[in-house]
Structure 1
Amino acid sequence: LEDLKSLSTSAQKPEETTFYYALALHFNEQYKDALKFYNQYIQTGTNAKLVSQARENAKACKYALAILPKKQAVTFVNAGKKVNSKFPEYNPFVMPDEGYMFYVTQKEGTTGHVYDAKGYFASDIYISKYKYGNWTRGRSVGQPNSYGNEKVTSISENGKYIVYYVDNPLSKNNLQVAENRKKYSFNPPKKIDDKRINNNSGKQHSGVFSNDGNTFIFSSKRNGGLGGYDLYIVKKLPTGKWGEPQNMGPEINTEKDEIYPYLYDNGQTLYFSSNGHNTIGGFDLQKSTYDNVAKKWNSPENLGLPINTPFDDYTICFGQNKKTAYVGMWRKDGFGEKDIYQLIFENEEPLYTTINAKVMYEDSSQFTPALTIEVYNEKDELTGIYTKKQDKGSFIMVLPPGKYKINLLQNDNIIYQESIFVKDHNLYKDFVEKKIILKGIPKQE
């Protein structure tokens, strides 16, 4: 960036330097300065292709500046080195309880051991388990991985259907589905056997099933579309066969590309990626909700900053509620190219756990005396004070996920301390019973 800045002020600089300096500023999220240099190049540039791109990028910078005041409070948590590498990892999709994650990797060791046009290894689908607060080392799912490119494009909200994109000489450019037969165990993937979906004259990209499997939304480039890749919706007939796919229309589709559909809220919310709607740069994640009265999808909304970036943002997947989500993106704190991150939305309510704590003495059958219970978070901040009346053997705490220290006090004196961990992800439980055993004989009040 600094080298381009110095070169951009030189009288002998190549004409395109101004454009590429603006682009570097754009990628570094310096939207105001990027807009200034894009506009400068629009006025002075002679390369028609770059001038056109500068106009488009300037529009993206203006949009970023307009939505900057609405930037959401989001924490990014890297999935760790057992999942991410110096190569691209992206398209993360979790099971409903967030116990397993499917994702795409192009790291060394993928099935084909061949390179794609960008110099990366061909893409494979991997799976990782969430265990003891961390993601385990990713491993290949086996089928449909091959020496071609395979990608996971969605998991239905209830975890029943996984859709894969497969492109190799034996299975060219098609969508496949694997159905969940029991918890975390899927049938072998099969090509969606309908020529109206896997259209040989077109190109398929990605798709998602509704929870009941009777609706399929997919991205395809084919005759009759509104632009490049469009989103289509198709429903099963009473016969079990698929009906005719319907283009989702100009409310959703643009003259450019719409890809990676993902359904949430029991099919009432559609997420997808587009470079044709309002964008901060490249592909941005969009959201549309279904109007049950008008029987149509509403105009999409950009998911905004910092979820979308100046780079291409393709997929998003939510956990048990909208407190957490998963994306693949480039960030400065990453391991290499794109990494997988968990997003934690600070303004969304977490899943709370109710803890019924029973207090007793190990050498006495008596009920315990009146106690005060103090709860401190990881920052040693007091987050709650509870009381237990005399002759009452338990007290109730309601806490969000996290690490805590509890102090039991009798007459303002600490008689017991313990650290507790309120679990999240697939370890989460909404109700927990806990025993606290005190040594000695209860002191009289």
Structure 2
Amino acid sequence: MIFYPGRHIRLLFLGLVCFCSAPVHAQKERSFLKTADSYFMVGNYRAAIPYYEQVLNSDKAQPLALYRAGVSYLAYDKDRASDYLYKAQRLNPNVAPDIEYWLGRADHVNYRFDDAVEHYKLYANTLPKNAQARKEVDLLIQQSRTAQKFVQKPKDLFVRNLGPTINSPFSDHSPVISRDNKTLIYTTRNRTAVHEKVNTDGEYTEEIVEAVRLDADTWSEPRSLNLHLNSKGHDASIQLFDNDTRLLMYRQSQNGDFYVARRKESNWSLPEKLNGHINTPNYESDAFITHDNNTLYFATTHFSKKGDKDLFMSRKDANGVWGKPVSLGNTINTAFDEDSPFLTPDGKTLYFTSRGHNTMGGYDVFVSHLDSVTQTWSAPENMGYPINSPDDDTYFRLNADGTMAYLSSYRMGGYGEKDIWSIDLSKEVKIKGQVANAEKVDATTLEINFTSRPKNNRALQYYAPVLSTGDFEIQLQSGRTYQVTFKQNGQVISTQEYEVPATAAPEVVKTAAFRILEDKLSQAAPVKSKK
């Protein structure tokens, strides 16, 4: 055999490199895992994920890293969370004492409710008979079954994400819409010029921002409101009131208090703390001031022995001072958190969020109605799916005419963590119409077409046949203005406008009369709605 010393030297060198790089690689992997675990232990899952991914890129068969990465992903990527948790269990069925709990949570938020219940039961079997955690598991099982019931009978509503201009990879919540529907004020934990330092939970400090509607589905880039409004701590939007001239807001002082800022042309004043008996040394989270500015509904932990949030109301006295809070009672408040009250302008319908009652999981949106005789609230009704999801759904707010709602949700299909979504609540209503002077023409030869003004980039068109009496019936979407075109023998003989007032109530019958073949066309005022 011919000896080539140079070749052997190169092979020896490559062997030494491989021998030396293996410990270096292992050391780097241990460093990534240590860093990931340090973030995981303090609940900074956002920061932990990239380090776990570095570890798993090198070795996908690490059950503990898969388990912790799966738990970390639950708020950001529910599919991946489930994938990692199941892989972790397949590699090591005993990877963690609570693996069945987390598999149940992953299945729950991924709409696999039967599987979630099975995992919750398996986890319960690992607990001592008198363990407090068993009550939590029983509640989760109940929530899974409730979620399954609602998902199987969804409401005919479209829930739409407001898109990446509004929603960021971080938490975006607390939407506040102006009366003209053109301005959205909300709270973000995205990076801004005011807040550039990441908190221990992996997100930036809450800041109030504003976006302007450019068209039906498009918003401007959000801009930070002035430094008077945003402090160095957490600040959050709550409500525009008093004809949109004042902003009710949350500020991180004394564990969380309510403030009011006044609009000064295109800017805002320095916020002032609410007076009276509202703010306490404990946590005040969210609130709502009624249409007459005299009653405040709010959530606080101050009166709870367990530290959960309950809903209270306070009335303003003759001197403009908020009076002592009164609980909304056990019909509304539970042993769990109640938050985010919102009332309709007539003060008779209350929307709020709760972790109690019959939720689908986490916070759900509920509605309750005021009995005008007894002045008591009805048993809360879950708003159902798709308004609610198996994860947290909070900060439900209606626009001025009640045809559109906004809420914050962790649901699937978002852009990161909590996102802001819109819900079209307008309903189809029956219109009973009459061509008042139909005797001037053969009514049966008339064609009537209703065309709505474009909304959400689409116009709706409807056709109504006419009886010989001039009467017709048609189903129209509420909250829209229609161009009504009368044709005979293909010729347009009259064009008018008809507005169907906004309503979120089903089966409303409205009556309208039209006149045609006159020099000055007129439309009679619609008769008052009948339910």
TM-score, L = length of structure 1: 0.75
1:77 deviation in Å? 2.2
Indicate the larger mover: 57-66 or 399-408.
Answer: 399-408
**Alpha-carbon distance, 1:320 to partner:** 3.5
Tell me, yes or no, if the aligned pair for 2:229 and 2:261 is still in contact at 8 Å: no
**Which AA in structure 1 matches 2:188?**
T
Q: Which residue number corresponds to residue 150 of structure 1?
A: 235
Would the aligned equivalents of 2:339 and 2:352 in 1 still touch at CA under 8 Å? yes
Match of 1:324 among 363, 384, 404: 404
**Residue 125 (structure 2) pairs with residue 43 (structure 1):** yes
Q: Which residue of structure 2 aligns with residue 63 of structure 1? A: 146
Between 271-280 and 226-235, the greater mean CA deviation after superposition: 226-235
* 1:8-29 Cα distance to aligned partner (Å, 9 max, x none): 5677433422221111100112
What is the identity, as a one-letter code, of the residue corresponding to 1:125? I
1:241 maps onto 2:321 in alignment:
yes
2:186 maps to which of 103, 111, 120: 103
- Quote how far apart the aligned CAs of 1:223 are: 4.1
State the Cα distance separating 1:92 from its structure 2 match. 0.9
2:167 counterpart of 1:84: yes
Shift of 1:375: 6.5
2:275 counterpart letter in structure 1: D
* 1:384 has 2:463 as partner: yes
Shift of 1:151: 0.7
The aligned residue for residue 343 of structure 1 is 423
Alpha-carbon offset, residue 106 of structure 1:
0.9
Does the residue aligned with 1:22 lie in a helix, a strand or coil?
A: helix
Distance in 1 of aligned mates of 2:322 and 2:161:
40
Asked whether the 8 Å contact 1:154–1:260 carries over to 2, the reply is: no
Q: 1:110 to 1:88 in 2, by over 3 A?
A: farther
Quote the offset at 1:332 in angstroms.
Answer: 3.4
Alignment match, 1:16: 98
- CA distance in 2 between counterparts of 1:212 and 1:381 reads 37
Tell me, yes or no, if structure 1 residue 141 matches structure 2 residue 225: yes
Q: What's the CA shift string for 1:230-254, capped at 9, x where partnerless?
A: 2111111223322221122212222
1:228 corresponds to 2:305: no
Taking the aligned partners of 1:277 and 1:13, their CA distance within structure 2 comes to 34
Taking a change above 3 Å as real, the CA distance of residues 148 and 408 of structure 1, as seen in their structure-2 partners, is: same
* Cα displacement (A) at 1:407: 9.9
2:343 is the counterpart of 1:263: yes
For the 8 Å contact 1:101–1:129, the answer to whether it is kept is: yes
What is the rounded CA distance, in whole Å, between the counterparts of 2:242 and 2:405 in structure 1?
Answer: 13
Match of residue 177, structure 1, among 260, 272, 281? 260
Radius of gyration: which is bigger? 2
Cα gap change, 1:110 to 1:91, in 2 (>3 Å)? farther
Please tell me whether residue 30 in structure 1 is matched to residue 109 in structure 2: no
Conserved in 2, the CA contact under 8 Å of 1:251 and 1:298?
yes
Q: Report the AA paired with residue 220 of structure 2.
A: T
Alignment-derived partner of residue 136 in structure 2: 53
Q: Output one character per residue of 1:148-181: Cα deviation in whole Å (capped at 9) or x when no partner.
A: 101112344964653211015xx76211023568
Task: Tell me how far apart the structure 2 counterparts of residues 215 and 141 of structure 1 sit (CA, whole Å).
Answer: 27
C-alpha displacement of 1:402: 8.5
Higher share of residues assigned strand: 1
SS in 2 for 1:285: strand
Which residue is equivalent to 2:204?
A: 121
Rounded Cα–Cα distance in structure 2 between residues aligned with 1:67 and 1:13: 34
- Indicate if the aligned counterparts of 2:428 and 2:477 stay in contact, CA closer than 8 A: no
Flag the 1:11–1:338 CA change in 2: closer, same or farther, 3 A. Answer: closer
Within a 5 Å distance, the mapping from 1:209-224 to structure 2 comes to 209-223=289-303
SS in 2 for 1:316: strand
Shift of 1:192: 0.5
Where 1:44 maps in the other structure, the secondary structure is coil
Q: Counterparts of 2:429 and 2:269 in 1: how far apart (Å)?
A: 33
**Cα distance in structure 1, aligned partners of 2:414 and 2:324:** 43
- Aligned mates of 1:5, 1:224 — CA distance in 2: 39
1:163 matched to 2:163:
no
Three-state SS of the structure 2 residue aligned to 1:308 is coil
* CA distance 1:351–1:157, change in 2 (3 Å): farther
CA contact (8 A) 1:22 1:37 kept: yes
**2:288–2:296 CA contact under 8 A, matched in 1:** yes
Q: Given that residues 35 and 58 in structure 1 are in contact (C-alpha distance below 8 angstroms), is that contact kept between their aligned partners in structure 2?
A: yes
Partner of 2:278: 197
Question: Structure 2: 5+ residue runs without aligned partners?
Answer: 1-81, 432-444, 467-475, 493-498, 503-531
RMSD: 4.2
In structure 2, distance between residues paired with 1:423 and 1:335: 35
Identity of aligned residues (%): 26
**Per the alignment, in what secondary structure is the counterpart of residue 125 of structure 2?**
helix
Q: Residue 437 of structure 1 corresponds to which residue in structure 2?
A: none
- Higher helix fraction (1 or 2): 2
1:252–1:288 distance in 2 versus 1, CA, 3 Å: same
- Classify 1:56/1:210 alpha carbon distance in 2 versus 1 (closer, same or farther; 3 Å): same
**Structure 1, 156-165 or 35-44: larger mean CA deviation:** 156-165
Cα 1:192–1:8 shift into 2, 3 Å: same
CA offset digits 1:347-367 (Å, max 9, x no partner): x24899xxxxxxxxxxxxxxx
Paired residue secondary structure (2:340)? strand
Please name the residue that 1:363 is paired with: none
Distance 1:42 1:374, change over 3 A: same
TM-score of the two chains, using structure 2 as the length reference? 0.64
Secondary structure at 1:291 match in 2: coil
Per-residue displacement from partner, 1:309-338 (whole Å, max 9, x unpaired)?
A: 222222111124343211112343322222
**Secondary structure of 2:278's match?**
coil
Following TM superposition, by how much is the alpha carbon of 1:293 offset from its aligned partner in structure 2, in angstroms? 0.4
How far is 1:71 from its partner? 2.1
1:326 and 1:191 map into 2 onto residues whose CA distance is 26
